[in-house]
Chain A
Amino acid sequence: MPKEAMQKKNKNKKLKQMARAGSARYVWQRICQNPLALASVIIISLMIVLSIISPFILKCEYSKISMQDMYALPSLAHPFGCDELGRDILSRILYGARFTLAVGFLSVFMSATLGIALGSVAGYFGGVVDQVIMRFLDVMAAFPQLLLAIAISAVLGTGFDKCIYALGIAGIPHFARMMRANILTLRNQEFVEAAISIKCSKWRIIVHHVIPNAFAPLIVEISMSIAGAGLAASSLSFIGLGVQPPAPEWGAMLASARNYIRLYPHMIMFPGIFIMLSVLSFNLIGDAIRDALDPKLKD
């Protein structure tokens, strides 16, 4: 093969390797370049995998009560010790990851979908529809988010699914307002004007120009919100409203371990460390995604 053709081929290969800015692959490349974010991705993936396979690989079952091991301190057999019923804390924590992570993901999915829909409708249609939606959201936003989630939980009752609904509904105003603001600013941007001037159809402008641009900041917000939702979920369970014991949700574990703080502090140490670790990881991933998608917002 002639040299020139080889060079051209190599160049093409290189271009292919560098993903287009803003694409999912580009975001992934940026995360890989950031050691903290990469570590966070690994930690979250590990938590998910371990939460699924831990019942099969660990010797101690998460729900097995053993009176001999009551309040056992950390040891080789029980690396994190045992709780007041002699249940192995390590297997409970690993199994319990599914609650915190699932509530985090699903409640944010719920508030983002509903919020984006409401915000887009308000932004596109304007006028009376906008007024009605926004005034309603103003009222919802007048509550501190955790308080609204607590109030909704009080009505719905406790449990895994109800915890998701409570946090999901409480998060709607935030996403809706953001989406509406994005669409309002985008409507007057030059590239939309340019698209109109070359006779793009309205549909094409909305789908190809407005929505992709309105989404980038939202993706950042979504990734950051998962951290907040995980934290709120464990707070709800801690005060007895979210996921209920004996399910090994981390907040619920802390709530029951609280009574033994004086004598057996190891029982409160480990669940808290895992809450912090998962929330920290989501925050760091969110930071990396923000840096990748919106260089203007970079710290």
Chain B
Amino acid sequence: MSKYILKRILLMIPILVGVAILIFTLMFFVPGDPVEIILGSSATQAQVETVREQLGLNQPYIIRLGSFLQQLFLHGSFGNSYVQGTDVGAELLTRFPRTLILALFSILLSMVVGIPLGIRAATHANSAEDRISMFVSMIGVSMPNFWLALMLVLLFALKLGILPSSGDKGFEYYILPILANALGGIAGVARLTRSSMLEVIRADYVSTARAKGVSEHDVIYKHALPNAMIPIITMCGGRFGGQLGGTVVIETVFSIPGIGAYLINSINNRDYNAVQGSVLYIAFTFSVVMLLVDLIYAFIDPRIKAQYEGHSKKRIKRGEVKADA
């Protein structure tokens, strides 16, 4: 098992380097001179030249890329903000917990509500209850999260006055943002759980379990659900990325000073070093989460376990698709 984990971690390194190169290259082609942003338009030519020299901006692409990667991976530094002059990495570190709370609780809420809903819909397939819940979840998937956020603010903050509409001074400030960010996830997870469960429920081993007199509860939770979980977990991993992207918008609506709000702010100020840092931070977080999802597979998918444990390798038939391919 440790071999599998090690392999996964090693495979992630080139991806992270690639992500860094891609973002650096994108930002390299941004029109406009960063020095002009730093000094303002009234700076003299000599001043501009000095700052360019200091920041190494007149060096060719490949050398700048090299020093950027060295800085990032060897010193863990994201450089300085053009506008504020502060260290981007330190800024991101203080903002990160807020973004993480938002994304993490959203995905947890999506799973905690979505999976049971999906199971219920699947076990009552084609009943009125199932149809209505699937139509409602389709509406949930189709609703823009920022609009839902505004609607929630309108109802709970402005009309009822029971929850704050913006800021981050306590947990109650996160309730509406998490709800707004999670609803699409709840609906998506419920739909996928339903279809994944329906596929499994028709399988022979479920009929066998029923035939030998296993109670319906055990059939669903012990025989069907574990087998249906693999696509659900994959989707939740991907959804987490969606939630991280969603936080960018949600943080703007609720004025939560997380990475997303920082990103949008930096884009508006043309502070491209900060943009680069925030995008990298979120992408790295997403990659780590996808790594964790892969590691979870190792525990729930016996095929992977078998591949990496002892001599059980032979048991895998030749034609069988490798789960990590």
B142/A239 in contact, CB under 8 A: no
B139/A254 in contact, CB under 8 A: no
Any chain A CB within 8 A of the CB of B248?
Answer: yes
A147/B245 in contact, CB under 8 A: yes
Interchain CB contact (< 8 A) of A142 among B15, B26, B151, B245: B15
A284/B144 in contact, CB under 8 A: no
Given contacts A276-B139, A299-B194, contact A151 B248 (CB under 8 A): no
Interface residues on A, range: 35 or more
| Binary interface encoding of chain A residues 118-141 relative to chain B, with 1 for a CB under 8 A from any of its CBs, else 0 | 000000000000000001101110
Task: Kindly state the separation between the CA atoms of A238 and B139 in the bound complex, as whole angstroms.
Answer: 20
Any chain A CB within 8 A of the CB of B241?
Answer: yes
Given contacts A155-B27, A239-B252, contact A284 B246 (CB under 8 A): no
Cβ < 8 Å to B, chain A residues 203-251: 227, 231, 234-235, 238-241, 251
Interchain CB contact (< 8 A) of A261 among B23, B154, B264, B283: B154
B18/A135 in contact, CB under 8 A: yes
Given contacts A147-B245, A154-B30, A272-B151, contact A241 B267 (CB under 8 A): yes
Task: Kindly state the separation between the CA atoms of A138 and B13 in the bound complex, as whole angstroms.
Answer: 12
CB-CB under 8 A from A157, the residues of chain B are 31
B142/A235 in contact, CB under 8 A: no
A284/B138 in contact, CB under 8 A: yes
A135/B14 in contact, CB under 8 A: yes
CB-CB under 8 A from A147, the residues of chain B are 244-245, 248, 279, 282-283
Please give the residue numbers on chain A whose beta carbons come within 8 Å of chain B beta carbons, in ascending order: 36, 135-136, 138-140, 142-147, 150-155, 157, 227, 231, 234-235, 238-241, 251, 254, 258, 261-262, 265, 268-269, 271-272, 275-276, 279-280, 283-284, 287, 297, 299
Please give the residue numbers on chain B whose beta carbons come within 8 Å of chain A beta carbons, in ascending order: 14-16, 18-19, 21-23, 26-27, 29-31, 134-135, 138-139, 141-147, 150-151, 153-154, 158, 191, 194-195, 198, 241-242, 244-246, 248-249, 252-253, 263-264, 267-268, 272, 275, 279, 282-283, 286-287, 290
